[in-house]
Amino acid sequence: MKRLWASWRMKYISSADKQPGCAFCEALKKEDSAENLIVHRGKNSLIILNKYPYTSGHLMVAPLVHVANIEELDAETGNEIFQLITHSTTTLKMVYQPEGFNIGANLGQAAGAGIPGHLHFHIVPRWNGDTNYMSTIGEIRVIPEDIEVTYKRIKEQLQNSL
């Protein structure tokens, strides 16, 4: 049997259920940087990298206010979220040239929301053949780019397009 060591995961495993508060709200308390992964902060919402991405460039768009449900958003925030989802896909096309996208929200823990109390939308760039044996058989996800490099590339492109 072969083993893939991912010792960095222990920090996440041992602290995942112990972190106080909401990950989005905690990130919002800090200045936007590679540390908190916020690549853009709008008037009512933000674009943030997923700390545990499915693939390089996996972004999330979330309101600045801590709400769990779409119907809790005012129209201005909802419109800005949709605009930032659009900007995110445009940016990812320019940076990574994906062949498609998965865009969606998991509403509630039963639907798979990792942070069920704070509404957020995932934008995941996809390529033909990007789900290979490592994910399907080995239950391992291979991310080909360091998250700090991803942050820099996306932040730079967003600044040029927003």
CATH number at residue 130: 3.30.428.10
Find the catalytic residue in 58, 118, 120, 122: 120
66 given a catalytic annotation: no
Q: Please indicate, yes or no, if residue 99 is contained in any of the structural domains.
A: yes
- Out of 15-24, 79-88, 142-151, which region has the weakest mean confidence (pLDDT)? 15-24
Among all chains, which residue has been given the structure tokens 């996208």? Answer: 101
When pLDDT is cut at 50, 70 and 90, the band that residue 17 belongs to is: low
Kindly state the helix (H) or strand (E) to which residue 101 belongs, with its residue range.
strand 100-104
Residue type (1 letter), 70 = I
**Percent of the chain residues past pLDDT 90, beyond the cut:** 60
Asked whether the whole model's pTM tops 0.85, one would answer no
Number of domains in the chain: 1
Q: Looking at the domain assignment, is residue 8 inside a domain?
A: no
d(CA 46, CA 41): 4
Range of the domain at 81: 22-161
- Does a structural domain hold residue 14? no
CA 155 to chain centre: 13
Q: Does position 135 have pLDDT exceeding 60, yes or no?
A: no
Judge whether 137 lies within some domain: yes
Mean pLDDT along residues 129-141: 61
Half-sphere exposure of 12 (CA within 13 A, CB side): 7
- Residue 15 located in a structural domain: no
